[in-house]
Amino acid sequence: MCLESPTRDFARRRPPATFSFAVKRFAPLLVVFVTATSALLAPAGVQADSLPEPVQRVLDKAGVPHDSISAFVQDVTQNIPLVEFKADTSRNPASVMKLFGTAVALHELGPGYKWQTHAYADGRLKGDRLEGNLVLKGYGDPLLVTEYFWRFLRHLRDRGLRHITGDLVIDESFFSIIPEDRGAFDGRPHHAYNVLPAALLVNFHAYEFKLRPDKGRKRIVISADPPSTTIEIQNRLKFTNGRCRGKKFRIRAQVLEGLPDSAVRFSGTYPSACGSYAVLRTVSTQAPYVYGVFSALWKELGGRIDGGVKFGTVPESSRKLFAFSSPTLADVIRPMNKFSNNVMSRNLLLTLGAERLGEPGTVAKGRKAVRDWLQKAGIDTQSLVIDNGAGLSRAARTSARLMGEMLLHVYHGPYMPEFVASLPLAAIDGTMKKRFRDKPLSGRMHIKTGLIDHVRAMGGYMLNRNGRTFVVVLLQNYKNIHWGMGTRAQDALLEWVFDR
């Protein structure tokens, strides 16, 4: 939290000689008075240059140097931090970075903001037949999942459209995105957390492959959700009657490249005792994915499309058929933060750029929108490196103090309830669902966590056993800290704050 400075006029005013004399004469008494007053105002147990002892013990036992982590803890009703250890050191926050975009979006766009997806007829409409192309223009909706996309298409059918003779055209012009390699971060391009942003983002461009043993026919049944006409499933799994010893380590999901349509080959053994299992993968690039899901759902709705898919823009001569609205921003940020969805966060940053600095949305504009808002709030942004906005980055940086001051500022702002409610609740949901179960801390913390190799981080709010609300930030950057030792250090700090 930033405290206001004296006015400039007062700061420049030269004190009279008698005042200068008084300061010199009573300087020793003033020092004693200020020191005593500060001691009274400061919360008990302030840690200036050291971490709380429980955290030190965890680090020492694991051989982790203390200077590899940063901590910031402050009661929301106080002006002095309870803990500020290495708080100005810039570190990688992993997915805790998502909180910056969330906070700025709530204040700049408003909790009631909704994304749009528009459908246009590029051609002649004759009854239920479109002699031409159907153009879908996306405006960055991060939550256009299957059920909403189906609803969108159902509205088109309800308006009488059935047969499309031309192509499906995807208009991506609301965003301007520099092409990226999906596997650049960790060499796993088909894992859902590496999905790239898009103005028309359908179901995160991911498939959930559901595996189910059929004991009667002694086989493994595989299905894809959402349904698609552009994906082939090659089932090479062997049904066995053995014990379940960890099914996911006995099967292999291989994406086959270079085929006209996407193909996934499942191989290995699958004991029937393992029951049902699901594998989430990103198999297709944007155009074939959107077309495959569109054509499958459109057929289910009694529709038909003759053409293929291509990118383009909405022609001036086209006719708008329908505008579909997303849930509100306040609703969208809940799954984004609770389950740490990377591509939703990236779309949010691009949306901020487009809405605040003009279309098309770019990462650079999104970064500027975040930084401008923080600086307007009086928060020093020198340690901030946003990168893609999701925290899935080796370059992203912030300090514990910057993060803590942002959390304090939001807490005292108008959209605190919406912001806090978007964070995982300890022992209840999201990435904190399995933490602190059957403990006094259960349900008393809204904490966003972050985890990538050699990075463990958290930031959020705690209501402790004495009814005090604290902002808590812990950033850990050290070799293998993402293993259990990082979580143990977090737990030690949270339990310590809970007893203050």
The structure tokens listed for 409 are: 């500022």
With respect to residue 90, please indicate whether it lies within any of the assigned structural domains. yes
Q: pLDDT digit string (tens) for 183-196?
A: 999 999 999 999 99
With respect to residue 105, please indicate whether it lies within any of the assigned structural domains. yes
CATH number, domain of 163, equals 3.50.80.20
With respect to residue 35, please indicate whether it lies within any of the assigned structural domains. no
Looking at the structure, do residues 266 and 244 belong to the same domain, yes or no? Answer: yes
- Domain span at residue 253 reads 207-281
Give the number of domains in the chain.
3
Looking at the structure, do residues 402 and 487 belong to the same domain, yes or no? Answer: yes
Other CB atoms within 10 Å distance of the CB of residue 476: 27
The structure tokens listed for 451 are: 């985890």
Structure confidence at residue 251 (pLDDT):
86
Q: How far apart are CA 169 and CA 353, in angstroms?
A: 24
Q: How far apart are CA 264 and CA 285, in angstroms?
A: 14
With respect to residue 9, please indicate whether it lies within any of the assigned structural domains. no
Looking at the structure, do residues 166 and 290 belong to the same domain, yes or no? Answer: yes
Looking at the structure, do residues 335 and 307 belong to the same domain, yes or no? Answer: no
Handedness of CA 357, 361, 362, 363 (dihedral sign): positive
Other CB atoms within 10 Å distance of the CB of residue 196: 21
CATH number, domain of 383, equals 3.40.710.10
Label residue 321 by pLDDT band (50, 70, 90). very high
With respect to residue 121, please indicate whether it lies within any of the assigned structural domains. yes
User: What average pLDDT does the segment 63-84 reach?
Assistant: 97
Q: How far apart are CA 308 and CA 352, in angstroms?
A: 32
Q: C-alpha dihedral over 338, 344, 345, 348, to 10 degrees? A: -130
Looking at the structure, do residues 235 and 255 belong to the same domain, yes or no? Answer: yes
Q: pLDDT digit string (tens) for 410-465?
A: 999 999 999 999 999 999 999 999 999 999 999 999 999 999 999 999 999 999 99
Q: pLDDT digit string (tens) for 214-231?
A: 999 999 999 999 999 999
With respect to residue 47, please indicate whether it lies within any of the assigned structural domains. no
Looking at the structure, do residues 290 and 430 belong to the same domain, yes or no? Answer: no
Looking at the structure, do residues 242 and 300 belong to the same domain, yes or no? Answer: no
Looking at the structure, do residues 145 and 220 belong to the same domain, yes or no? Answer: no
Looking at the structure, do residues 389 and 461 belong to the same domain, yes or no? Answer: yes
Contact 388, 349 (CB under 8 A): yes
Looking at the structure, do residues 442 and 398 belong to the same domain, yes or no? Answer: yes
Mapping DSSP onto H, E and C, the string for 176-237 reads CCCCCCCCCCCCCCCCHHHCCCCCCCEHHHCEEEEEEEECCCCEEEEEEECCCCCEEEEEEE
> Among residues 40, 185, 83, which one has the least CA distance to residue 496?
83
**139, pLDDT greater than 90:** yes
Label residue 245 by pLDDT band (50, 70, 90). confident
With respect to residue 15, please indicate whether it lies within any of the assigned structural domains. no
Looking at the structure, do residues 357 and 439 belong to the same domain, yes or no? Answer: yes
Q: How far apart are CA 202 and CA 389, in angstroms?
A: 20
Lowest mean pLDDT across 247-256, 359-368, 402-411, 475-484:
247-256
